[in-house]
Every structure is written in structure tokens, then in C-alpha cells.
Amino acid sequence: MLNKYARAFFTRVLTPFAALLLRLGVSPDAVTLVGTAGVMAGALVFFPMGEFFWGTIVITIFVFSDLVDGNMARQAGISSRWGAFLDSTLDRVADGAIFAGFALWYAGSGDDNTLCAVAIFCLASGQVVSYTKARGESIGLPVAVNGLVERAERLVISLVAAGLAGLHTFGVPGIDILLPIALWIVAAGSLVTLIQRVVTVRRESAEADAAEAAEAAAGQTAADPSAAGSAGRGSEGDR
């Protein structure tokens, strides 16, 4: 849901920066790779140590590369299938690293196996939610549903909560509860989104199969009109 509005806004804001990088000779692929590396470092270095505030700051800085690289490609007129593939693939890597960082914290110093399991579920469900849309589109279906919690929602909810929870180390009491709440929300929302997409693909595939069967029947009738006539006379005799 946030993709529709937030992406358009930040794309406009980041357009001058994207143009500057192009003038400096930086390629969109390089931005994609550096951005993913930065997100992974922020998640897998800071989060397992419980440094949620600084980890979120680092991740937030680099996560905007997902908007900058595409903007650069459009401005330079070099959009390609490879660029789209690389961007989508590394998005999954970055998302996995964020929730892996949460899981490592709760498996270690955070000492909470339940929240560790919730973080792992968020990691896995996020990958599957993305896969369902990609797989549905690969077999020719539109997958015309956005879902309750997509990538933008997962990132915003989890990172805002993590950043605020990190203020606990600066002496803000009780605020660390926000991260567990956010993880439960993302887990539940991802499950709902997964169900929405599976149901949509099931409906669209049934409609596509029915349409193909109708076209095949119409084509057979057109190829052999006598069969239709014989079938019609037979039905009249039956009556």
C-alpha cells in the first residue's frame, strides 16, 4: 500500500541525487550493490549487538538505493532486464538480512526464543510473499492484488520500531517493547498478504483455464461446423 504513494514521493526527492551520480560516472548496478552491502552491514553488525538505533540509521541511509538505482537507469535510458533482475534479487537479500539480524539478537543476548521464531517467520514469509507474485506473473497471471503488508510496509514497520526501541540504550524507559510488537504485526500481516495472493492466483488461474477451454471449444467448432450441426440435431431427437 505504501509503494503507491511513498515510492513516487521519494523518487521525486531523489531525482537530483540520481542525476549527480550519473554525472560522476556511477552506474545503477554499482548503487544497487553498495546499497545492499550497506543494509546487510547495518542489520548483521548492529542488530545482533542490540544497537537498534544506529543499525536503523545505517540501514535507512542505504535502503534508498533501491529508489536511486532505478531512477538513474530511467534518466540514462539504460533500463534492462538484467538491472531489474539484479535489483529484485538483492532486495530479497537485504530484507532477509534485516530479519536475520533481529533473529540473531533474540537467539543470543536478547534471549527470547519465541521472538527469534517470529523474526524467522517474518524473514521466510516475506520471501514467499514476493515469490507468489513473481511466480504468478511468470505463468501469465496479473496477480492483481497488493496485499495488506508488502515490502514497503515490512520495512517501515520493522525499522521505525527498531529505531525507536534503540532509544532504550539512551535511557528512554519501556520503549524497547515496540520491536516485539512490530515483529508480531509484520508476521501477522505477511500471513494475511500471503493468503490474499494465493487466493488471487487461484481465482485468476481458474478464470484463465476456463477462458482457454472456451477458446479451444470455439476453435474446434469453427474447424468442424458439421460436428456442431450433428450435435444440435441429436439433441433435438433426444427431446
Pick the closest to residue 150 from 4, 39, 36 (CA basis): 4
Q: For the chain, what is the total number of helices (H) and then of strands (E)?
A: 9, 0
Amino acid at 19: A
* CA distance linking residue 26 with residue 137, whole number of Å: 32
Contacts of 213 (CB under 8 A, 6+ apart): none
Contacts by residues 92-95 (CB-CB < 8 Å, ≥ 24 positions apart): 92/127, 92/130, 93/36, 93/40, 94/35, 94/36, 94/39, 94/40, 94/43, 94/63, 95/123, 95/126, 95/127, 95/151, 95/154, 95/155
The yes-or-no answer on residue 111 being catalytic is no
* Annotated active-site residue in 91, 95, 111, 238: 91
Active-site positions?
A: 91
